[in-house]
Structure 1
């Protein structure tokens, strides 16, 4: 086979493979407990991670950025594919730390001065709670997933998962910041070149983000650190 014929076959194969893939589109509804104890819809449904399992894909080559700015992690919720890198950058004028004691991945960046970066590779799927050992109020969540069919919702709770191979898969939605998170699980069937529409429900129950420092102890400084 000549080079020209091979190039032609490859150029034809890419659109064909894309045509065989499907899309999952939907909305996550979140309820919270109102002042009277009754469940009410939550207006802002940002930060829900929706993803499929059942198959694996290599991670993107690009890094995911999570900045430390105004004594907060920005964004506070990110999704990464197993094997992908996350870069934590200190954009404040104070010293920060990044650590996690989660089962999915434990790490400690030490003290990061203003302008410094720290990069960590997340190899195992799961939920990773991220904190700063200096500023107790700094809380973030990493959800490490097995493939690229993942999205993080905006305020309207909507999501789109593209490039999904045909098949039936577990579909998850995670909205909490620790391993006691509320998790919505359902099943979705994806057909070649078609769009599947789903609706998911989550109940927000956790009242606060209290946590231990990287040694497993209570924070010894004021919650704002320095």
Structure 2
């Protein structure tokens, strides 16, 4: 049974994300505004079986990302996204220099050799930025009542301006099940996503 009681007293916030069919939703990114970034170990965006791995990578503003190629074929990685436009020409193994991501925002990746390769780098300007696991779960630290959360998912929106936001007070009013706040996101249908990805692949070849 769903318990709609507020969770203001909880030291942590446990969230559970679902799509409109009630399925757990992995790769939801939640960022809490106003938390200064901190530098951590250099992140890696690998390429395995002609796919970016992970498909969604969260980094912090000012970090450099390594792009190893673990396939036995070459890839040619691009992005035309405004936070970071770059190109790593046809290559194998690991490029000598990582790529610096010094502006916050969403970076969409593609390969001009393999249309199906679409990946996302979420460049955060908050140290409190988290990504949901396969069960759709995220655990946030205790947050001030004035906090605002920015929520993004690859099928929720490709546009920075269209990210969903939610206040701490709004979270308090959400239903709770098994100690986790239940949040449902309405996602684009698969056909719409494929059209977006195909459009991006075509752009890479221009």
Matches within 5 A, 1:206-225: 206=189, 207=191, 208=194, 209-213=197-201, 216=203
Distance 1:121 1:199 in 2: 36
Shift in Å at residue 166 of structure 1?
4.1
CA distances 1:79-102 after superposition (whole Å, capped 9, x unpaired): 111111211100111110111101
Distance 2:99 2:116 in 1: 21
Matches within 5 A, 1:1-226: 23-31=12-20, 40-41=21-22, 43-60=23-40, 62-113=41-92, 115-117=93-95, 119-162=98-141, 166=144, 168-176=146-154, 179-180=158-159, 183-188=163-168, 198-206=181-189, 207=191, 208=194, 209-213=197-201, 216=203
| Aligned-residue CA RMSD (Å) | 2.6
Bigger strand fraction: 1
Distance 1:198 1:44 in 2: 13
Specify the SS of the correspondent of 1:210. helix
Specify the SS of the correspondent of 2:66. strand
Distance 1:180 1:218, change over 3 A: same
Shift in Å at residue 44 of structure 1?
4.2
Q: Scaled by the length of structure 2, what TM-score is found?
A: 0.76
Specify the SS of the correspondent of 2:31. strand
CA distances 1:150-205 after superposition (whole Å, capped 9, x unpaired): 2211222110123x67452210221116634763310126xxxxxx9644331111
Q: Scaled by the length of structure 1, what TM-score is found?
A: 0.70
Distance 1:142 1:217, change over 3 A: closer
Q: 1:34: which partner in 2?
A: none
Distance 1:217 1:64 in 2: 24
Specify the SS of the correspondent of 1:109. strand
Specify the SS of the correspondent of 1:212. helix
Distance 2:138 2:121 in 1: 18
Unaligned runs of at least 5 residues, structure 2 = 1-10, 170-178
Shift in Å at residue 67 of structure 1?
0.8
